[in-house]
Amino acid sequence: MYLKQIYKNLTADKMTGQKRFVVLLDPDKMRLSKMDQVLKASVDAGVDYFFIGGSLIVSDMLDNILITIREATNIPTILFPGNSYQLSYKADAILFLSLISGRNSELLIGNHVLAAPYLKMSPLEILPTGYLLIDGGVRTTVSYISNTQPIPPDKPDIAACTAMAGEMLGMKLMYLDAGSGARHPVSPEIISAVTNITDVPLIVGGGIRNPEAARQAAEAGANIIVVGNAIEKDPGLISDISFAVHTSRTQPIS
């Protein structure tokens, strides 16, 4: 009942092997002066979705950014909230994230209880998402704020079992995140371990800085590739990363 067109499209894309490219906009980091450039480049490059969020939104820019995107593009906007204050009816959908790699009950279910009545009344499409933090070589804001340990990068079995449990609990998407600004993106071994054992569409992000890294993640089995930091620094990367993602197909890992 809460899953609508966006989820239908994501599952259809997984079936056909079509990879999707997401630009993550963090309202705290994105200067409005740069927004025009990012939005224009995203339209020109065929970006599929915007994720809007960050671990710590300290500005009141959330609604403004959503309005600006809606005026300039038809690209769907999906909230990627770092906490239950980062909600807005002006987006198209929300990743309803449960941090299943951690053992912080507030981020597993507590915040969701508080947000549920607001979401029930909202027009947002709700995308129940198992969120797994993978160690990317630096202590990230999300790891500090969530007070959880990321999954070690050399433990694909832990990631696979965690994602399996999330899928069995009914989560409709999995998100493997090395955290914004990670030194190392999520490895192909972890991506392929998760994608081989689960059927739901797989989102991968954190520390992807160039087309090669995006292609590597997509070929390992990610269905949706998210890039934030690198694009905030250089919006010129959008077209090359978009091309790399859209021309990738999952390759078997030898």
Among positions 194-253, residues that touch ligand 1GP (CB under 6 A) are: 205-208, 226-230
Q: DSSP string covering 220-254, please?
A: HT-SEEEE-HHHHH-TTHHHHHHHHHHT-------
The pair of three-digit structure tokens given for residue 54, joined into one six-digit string: 């960050």
- Residue whose CB is less far from ligand 1GP, 4 or 108: 108
Identity of residue 114: L
Whose CA is closest to 13, among 171, 166, 218? 218
Check residue 76 for interaction with ligand 1GP (CB under 6 A). Answer: no
| Chosen residue from 48, 92, 125, 177 binding ligand 1GP by CB under 6 A | 177
CB of 140 to ligand 1GP, least distance (A): 8
The neighbouring-strand residues paired with 151 are: 134
Question: How big is the site for ligand 1GP, counted in residues (CB under 6 A)?
Answer: 15
Check residue 181 for interaction with ligand 1GP (CB under 6 A). Answer: yes
Check residue 98 for interaction with ligand 1GP (CB under 6 A). Answer: no
CB of 120 to ligand 1GP, least distance (A): 26
Q: Which residue is nearest to ligand 1GP (CB)?
A: 205
CB of 204 to ligand 1GP, least distance (A): 8
CB of 145 to ligand 1GP, least distance (A): 12
Distance CA 116, CA 234 (A): 37
Q: Which residue has the tokens 């520390």?
A: 207
Among positions 3-32, residues that touch ligand 1GP (CB under 6 A) are: 24
CA separation, residue 41 to residues 73, 130, 212, 242 (Å): 11, 30, 19, 10
CB of 158 to ligand 1GP, least distance (A): 19
Residues 6+ apart with CB under 8 A from 128: 2, 96, 98, 170, 171, 172, 173
List contacts with ligand 1GP (CB under 6 A).
Answer: 24, 177, 179-182, 205-208, 226-230
